């Protein structure tokens, strides 16, 4: 017997492209076209790029996916029949208290529940681990408890010849039980749950909700996961995600290029290089006789690489990085080949070194070694100056040879950091195997070696995204702003339709303003803008500024008095140009100010580079904050922004709207640099 909801959906079933899609509401024409195109991409196994106004994709896209997965389920129903019966049994026999919680839960969960930020922290049900507070500390402790689970309950270590000592078993996580995780996995597959429901279910079943959800991935029809877990090959492998024959849907795809670029751009500091070298050297001294000749050869190659990385920064691997002052400061940009030649490591096969690190898991072994025997390279506060590496090792000798102790806790004034920096350096080594034309290496030499760094910058994200496209069946790229110039033009059109008087739009540079103006002229957006506003452009010649401003003022005044379809004027200006300082757009001359992008200064400027290097050398870097040089660049950018948007509101009774067209303005460090009277009113 059909329910009222089923009959309603059947009545509103729409046909698009010969395929029927059930809907709980009457769709728009654009939504039906979207469904037909999306279903065609899924069936043909192709790549689809979809752009739609905000809100239409999320709702309408569910129908073709549901129908596509239902057809796919019929193909494999015979293979999954037993498992479906088991899940059906669980569904009927589920405890009533869980059903009550589900009934009281929100039907449409907030999108925030699917964000990856702090997911691991929020899903942890081990109170002893949760009280650590920091996400990084929680992750490190979680990994440690998992590793302890697989170790023997009693460890026998030979301290002296003929003398053995029994150690206490290491702590394990009581929620990491394979049997309980299997039960939780089946419960997760019954229906969609938000984070709060997963946590409640995990506490009841005494199983980790995070790993229970991961165990459910192979049997799930839809998996929602963050960019980082999908687009990074190592993360996919660790999570057990296989893309063969799957459909990949990437929402907010306009951020795809920046995400891949940032994900595969790796930066290692001088202190990390020195710490990894010291840890690996002592690991070799302790276990070198047990290692095979081939493994020992690769470890020595890694030690050689670390030493050369420190040398190319201008430091000495045998000294404490916190006390080493570099003679040269500044930033260099190198191709991968030039960097390898300059570092004198072009004769080492980095592909084989990377393969050895992956197969031997040397970084994990080094992590266990440092946890057992203590930190082997901690900044020396009692002896800030060290004569050499041997003297430094002697000062650490009691820590290395003593009985295993608990891991050294971080001081209150120090930020948490990974116990094994070699894990981070492995990513840098892997990045160096990228094709020469696809990346660059940035050598940043600051005041001391510990503050200096090597950074790999990925230039061609298509290399990594091609792996995803090659493996999966179909790729759907969906977003609201796949064409930023067109989106900016549409926003400006909407503003000009409702804002009377003058509108001033600032661009980061003259070149970008020229490109946008040419694109709008070609696409017809300028003609649409001209229906409501007369368009003026900031002239490049100083002697033309006064004439343009006079015509702009006359147009705004005339339109305000005469009425008609043209309600004012639009001024296209440039941040830092003639219109951004010393000129007032008060009252009707500027009822709306639009800031397109963020006008960061060019870091290629030799003058700016010298200022950044000077600040990095003379000013201390606070923990958790950006270097003083980078802070200078941000301050220069926001200073220009504040000067530009301040052109509109010039007296007590004046008013105007300020539109910041860049999602980076929502970041707390950037938002904090806006004036307080603007920051408190940002929506």
* CATH number for the domain that contains residue 496: 3.40.50.300
Q: Does one domain contain both 394 and 495? A: no
> Among 268, 269, 278, 280, which residue's Cα sits nearest to residue 388?
278
Confidence category of residue 102, pLDDT binned at 50, 70, 90: very low
> Among 124, 127, 156, 157, which residue's Cα sits nearest to residue 143?
124
Q: What is the DSSP string of 411-460?
A: PTTS----S-THHHHHHHHHHTTS-GGGEEEEEEE-SBTTT-EEEEEES-
Q: Does one domain contain both 495 and 443? A: no
Kindly report the pTM of this predicted structure: 0.60
Beta-strand pair 453-458/474-479? unpaired
Q: Does one domain contain both 207 and 350? A: no
Q: Work out the percent of the chain whose per-residue pLDDT is above 90.
A: 6
Asked whether residue 503 is domain-assigned, the answer is yes
3-state class (DSSP) for residue 10: helix
Q: How many Å apart are CA 412 and CA 409, to the nearest integer? A: 9
548-567 pLDDT, tens digit per residue, is: 888 988 888 888 777 778 88
Whole-angstrom distance between the N-terminal and C-terminal Cα of the chain?
49
Q: Does one domain contain both 347 and 421? A: yes
Compute φ and ψ for 453, nearest 5 degrees: -155, 160
Consecutive H or E run containing 158 = strand 155-160
Asked whether residue 147 is domain-assigned, the answer is yes
Q: Does one domain contain both 452 and 557? A: no
Asked whether residue 261 is domain-assigned, the answer is no
Q: Does one domain contain both 310 and 453? A: yes
Domain that holds residue 113: 83-218
Q: Work out the percent of the chain whose per-residue pLDDT is above 70.
A: 74
Query: What's the angle, vertex CA 233, arms to CA 230 and CA 239, rounded to 5?
Result: 65
Higher-pLDDT residue of 568 and 543 is: 568
Q: Does one domain contain both 138 and 176? A: yes
By CB neighbour count within 10 A (0-12 exposed, 13-18 middle, 19+ buried), where does 202 fall?
buried
614-630 pLDDT, tens digit per residue, is: 888 888 777 767 888 88
Asked whether residue 605 is domain-assigned, the answer is yes
Asked whether residue 42 is domain-assigned, the answer is no
Q: How many domains in the chain?
A: 3
3-state class (DSSP) for residue 399: helix
Q: Does one domain contain both 530 and 438? A: no
Q: Which residue has the tokens 């040269």?
A: 328
Asked whether residue 172 is domain-assigned, the answer is yes
Q: Does one domain contain both 445 and 506? A: no
Q: Does one domain contain both 494 and 577? A: yes
Asked whether residue 626 is domain-assigned, the answer is yes
Q: Does one domain contain both 302 and 362? A: yes
Confidence category of residue 413, pLDDT binned at 50, 70, 90: very low
Q: Which residue has the tokens 């929620």?
A: 175
Q: Does one domain contain both 146 and 184? A: yes
Mean pLDDT value of segment 75-89? 55
Give the rounded distance of the alpha carbon of 601 from its chain centre: 24
258-296 pLDDT, tens digit per residue, is: 888 888 888 898 888 998 998 899 888 888 888 888 989
| pLDDT of 120 over the 70 cut | no
Asked whether residue 233 is domain-assigned, the answer is no
Among 109-118, 431-440, 471-480, which is the least confidently predicted range?
109-118
Confidence category of residue 3, pLDDT binned at 50, 70, 90: very low
Mean pLDDT value of segment 636-660? 84
Q: What is the DSSP string of 558-615?
A: HHHHH-SS--EEEEEEETTSTTSSS----GGG-SEEEEES--PPPTT-HHHHHHHHHH
372-403 pLDDT, tens digit per residue, is: 766 444 443 334 444 454 444 454 444 433 33
């Amino acid at each position: 017997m059909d329910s009222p909801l089923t009959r309603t959906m059947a009545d509103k079933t729409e046909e698009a492209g010969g395929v029927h899609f059930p809907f709980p509401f009457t769709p728009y024409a654009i939504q039906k076209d979207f469904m037909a195109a999306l279903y065609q991409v899924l069936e043909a196994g192709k790549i689809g790029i979809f752009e739609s106004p905000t809100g239409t994709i999320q709702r309408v896209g569910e129908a073709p996916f549901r129908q596509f997965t239902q057809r796919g389920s019929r193909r494999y129903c015979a293979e999954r029949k037993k498992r479906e019966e088991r899940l059906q049994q669980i569904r009927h026999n589920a405890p009533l208290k869980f059903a009550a919680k589900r009934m009281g839960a929100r039907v449409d969960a907030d999108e925030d529940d699917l964000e990856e930020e702090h997911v691991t922290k929020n899903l942890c049900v081990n109170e002893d681990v949760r009280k650590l507070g920091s996400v990084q500390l929680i992750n490190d402790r979680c990994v440690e408890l998992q590793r302890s689970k697989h170790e023997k309950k009693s460890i026998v270590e030979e301290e002296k010849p003929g003398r053995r000592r029994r150690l206490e078993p290491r702590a394990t996580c009581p929620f990491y039980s394979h049997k309980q995780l299997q039960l939780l996995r089946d419960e997760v597959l019954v229906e969609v749950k938000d984070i709060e429901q997963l946590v409640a279910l995990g506490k009841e079943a005494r199983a980790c909700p995070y790993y229970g959800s991961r165990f459910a991935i192979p049997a799930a029809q839809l998996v929602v996961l963050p960019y980082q877990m999908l687009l990074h090959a190592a993360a996919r492998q660790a999570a057990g995600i296989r893309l063969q024959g799957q459909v990949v849907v990437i929402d907010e795809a306009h951020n795809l290029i920046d995400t891949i670029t940032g994900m595969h751009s790796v930066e290692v500091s001088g202190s990390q290089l020195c710490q990894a070298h010291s840890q690996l050297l002592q690991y070799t001294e302790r276990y070198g006789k047990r290692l095979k000749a081939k493994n020992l050869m690769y470890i020595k190659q890694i030690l050689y690489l670390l030493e050369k990385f420190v040398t190319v920064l201008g430091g000495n691997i045998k000294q404490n990085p916190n006390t080493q002052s570099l003679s040269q400061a500044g930033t260099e940009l190198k191709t991968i080949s030039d960097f390898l030649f300059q570092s004198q490591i072009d004769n080492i096969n980095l592909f084989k070194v990377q393969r050895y690190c992956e197969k031997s898991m040397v970084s994990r072994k080094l992590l266990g070694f440092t946890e057992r025997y203590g930190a082997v390279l901690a900044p020396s506060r009692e002896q800030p100056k060290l004569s050499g590496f041997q003297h430094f090792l002697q000062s650490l000798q009691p820590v290395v040879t003593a009985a295993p102790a608990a891991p050294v806790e971080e001081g209150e004034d120090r930020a948490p950091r990974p116990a094994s920096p070699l894990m981070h350096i492995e990513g840098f080594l892997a990045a160096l195997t990228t094709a020469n034309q696809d990346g660059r290496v940035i050598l940043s030499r600051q005041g001391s070696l510990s503050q200096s760094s090597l950074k790999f910058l990925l230039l061609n994200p298509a290399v990594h995204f091609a792996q995803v496209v090659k493996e999966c069946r179909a790729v759907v790229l969906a977003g609201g702003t796949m064409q930023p110039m067109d989106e900016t033009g549409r926003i400006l059109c909407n503003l000009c339709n409702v804002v009377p008087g003058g509108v001033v739009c600032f661009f980061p540079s003259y070149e970008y303003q020229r490109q946008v103006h040419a694109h709008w002229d070609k696409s017809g957006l300028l003609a649409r803008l001209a229906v409501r506003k007369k368009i003026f452009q900031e002239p490049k010649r100083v002697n033309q500024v006064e004439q343009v401003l006079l015509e702009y003022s006359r147009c705004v005044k005339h339109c305000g008095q005469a009425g008609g379809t043209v309600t004012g004027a639009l001024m296209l200006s440039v941040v830092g140009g003639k219109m951004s300082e010393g000129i007032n757009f008060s009252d009707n001359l500027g009822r709306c100010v639009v800031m397109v992008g963020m006008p960061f200064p060019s870091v290629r400027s030799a003058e700016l580079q010298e200022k950044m290097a000077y600040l990095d050398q003379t000013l201390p870097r606070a923990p958790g904050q950006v270097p003083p040089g980078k802070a200078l660049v941000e301050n220069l950018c926001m200073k220009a922004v504040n000067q530009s948007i301040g052109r509109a509101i010039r007296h007590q009774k004046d008013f105007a709207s300020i539109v910041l067209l860049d999602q980076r303005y929502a970041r707390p460090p950037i938002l904090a640099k806006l004036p307080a009277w603007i920051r408190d009113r940002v929506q």
